[in-house]
Homo-oligomer: A and B are copies of this chain.
Amino acid sequence: METDILDAHTFWMQKAIRQAENAFEKEEVPIGAVIVCNDKIIGKGHNQTELLTDATAHAEILAISAANQYLAAKYLEDCTMYVTVEPCVMCMGAIKNSRIKKVIVGTKEPKSGFSKFVSPDFYTKIEVDFGQQEEQCAQLMRDFFKDKR
């Protein structure tokens, strides 16, 4: 199994980065997410707010909905989310609502990330780790916004 070759976090974050690249190719803000359960991706998503004309169509929301469908379950207690950029307030709320217990984040988003606005009391039961393949995740964002200016 491929996960043996690389560190597992690196392996899964690469899958999230691939999602972000999908978004980039469609001229969407390049953010991607995968949800992993028992060493398997059960939901994935990339930002599609423009393509779907939907302010709620962030990578994390789409990944959670997909995982809910895959498991036929509303709660994702034993799952880990890998997401290339720090979730916004909406997405952190969705992570809590879906009872995901662990979130591995690529790069921080100081302007609109949840940690600027949401009280830590809200996510005491969620382990959030920042900085997984940070440079690659951040570079995709920089490249995207450079092209837009």
| Residues on A facing B (Cβ under 8 Å) | 49-50, 53-58, 61, 64-65, 68-69, 72-76, 88-94, 96-99, 116-119, 121-122
Contact = CB atoms under 8 A, between A and B. Distances in A.
A69 B57 CA distance: 12
A89 B92 contact: yes
A93 B89 contact: yes
B74 A64 contact: no
A110 to B, nearest CB: 13
Nearest to A60: B56
A27 B118 CA distance: 31
Given A54-B64, A55-B98, 12 more contacts: A53-B68, A55-B74, A55-B75, A56-B64, A56-B65, A56-B97, A56-B98, A88-B97, A89-B93, A118-B118, A118-B119, A119-B119
A46 to B, nearest CB: 16
A69 to B, nearest CB: 7
Given A117-B122, A122-B117, A55 B64 contact: yes
A60 to B, nearest CB: 9
Contact of A93 (B74, B75, B91, B99): B91
Given A117-B122, A119-B119, A69 B54 contact: yes
